[in-house]
Amino acid sequence: MTGPETAPRAAPDFPTVLVVGDDPPRQLARLNRRARVLRAGSADHRALCARLPLADALLVWDFASDAVRDAWPAAGARVPAWVHTASAGVDRLVFPELVAAPTVLTNARGIFEQPVAEYVAGLVVAMAKDFRGTWELQRQRRWRHRETMRVAGTRAVVVGAGPIGRAIARTLAALGVRIELVGRTRRDADPEFGVVHQAGALARLLPAADWVVCAAPLTPASRGMFDAAAFARMRPSARFVNVGRGPLVVADDLAEALLTGRIAGAALDVFEDEPLDQDHQLWDIPGLFVSPHMSADTFGWQDELAEQFLANYTRWTTGAPLFNIVDKRLGYVPVGPRPTP
């Protein structure tokens, strides 16, 4: 069947799957006799342009690449019926031509939520308990007793009410943290959190927060949402964590807020330009944790991504509704039940 929840499969019955990435998963060998698999390296623009018009389905294995955006015009009128990205974020794929196309876009919702939530919880505990100070004193062989912050009873504003943001909120709540969840629109009867605040309420919520966690999708409305004005609203003891997308934060404004003591600390796992240049000022900012976009990456994560794509491929070829269909106008999968294979 075809419709808003399925991707119509183009003839012939033996679909062509184009994989974009330099190191595709070994599990794709299981598509033998089920698909014709073509490959194009992330930097091989010529190969991608030549093979894109042949593709019925497109697996964007290298989610950090802009190759699909650059090559899309080469498809002409024969665009892929289905594009799947091995990532939660789809900001590199919701360019105007793909949004306007009949192509169905899916993402990797369901893989990353709990790992990211655990990572954020670890950062919160590490900052509250001053683990960095403990490790430095240990390195210096200095015995200096200190008092640290109790996590239970603190307040967190979690920006992003999708699956990752909700998993973060749920995990922090288990530590006794009081949660204010912020989404695109207000909801007054959320089954887990009661009220989900509208994005416009963020300015009002920031002054009371001990922790501000950004897990929002990158959209035109959210780009640069954490700027000097946002940091100025936070209390001096607040800590900020970004596990969403790098461009959600104005990095220079965050650096200034930390250097001047406007906020007490921060942690960034995502950056506007990755990898972060070795001479970038963020490496040396006191009170800032820098990690290389790894909050979601636990042992076996790539295997999980491959298995998810194969499960969705089976649904696509049998006409079943696909998992994780992205609303291309919004730039994310609308909140709904957690997908299961």
Q: Please identify every residue annotated as catalytic.
A: 245, 274, 293
Contacts of 26 (CB under 8 A, 6+ apart): 306
φ/ψ of residue 29, rounded to 5: -60, -25
Q: Report DSSP state, residue 332.
A: B
For the stretch 76-82, contacts whose Cβ atoms lie closer than 8 Å and that sit 24 or more positions apart, written own/partner, are 78/10, 78/53, 79/103, 80/18, 80/52, 80/55, 80/56, 81/7, 81/8, 81/9, 81/10, 81/56, 81/57, 82/7, 82/9, 82/56, 82/57, 82/58, 82/106, 82/316, 82/322
Cα–Cα distance between 85 and 91 in angstroms, integer? 11
β-pair type (265-268, 57-60):
unpaired
Cα–Cα distance between 328 and 325 in angstroms, integer? 9
Per residue, what are the HEC states of 155-200? EEEEECCCHHHHHHHHHHHHCCCEEEEEECCCEEEECCCEEEEEHH
Contacts of 83 (CB under 8 A, 6+ apart): 57, 58, 60, 68, 93, 98, 103, 104, 105, 106
| Helix (H) or strand (E) run with residue 232 in it | helix 228-233
Q: What angle do CA 135, 139, 145 make, to 5 degrees?
A: 60
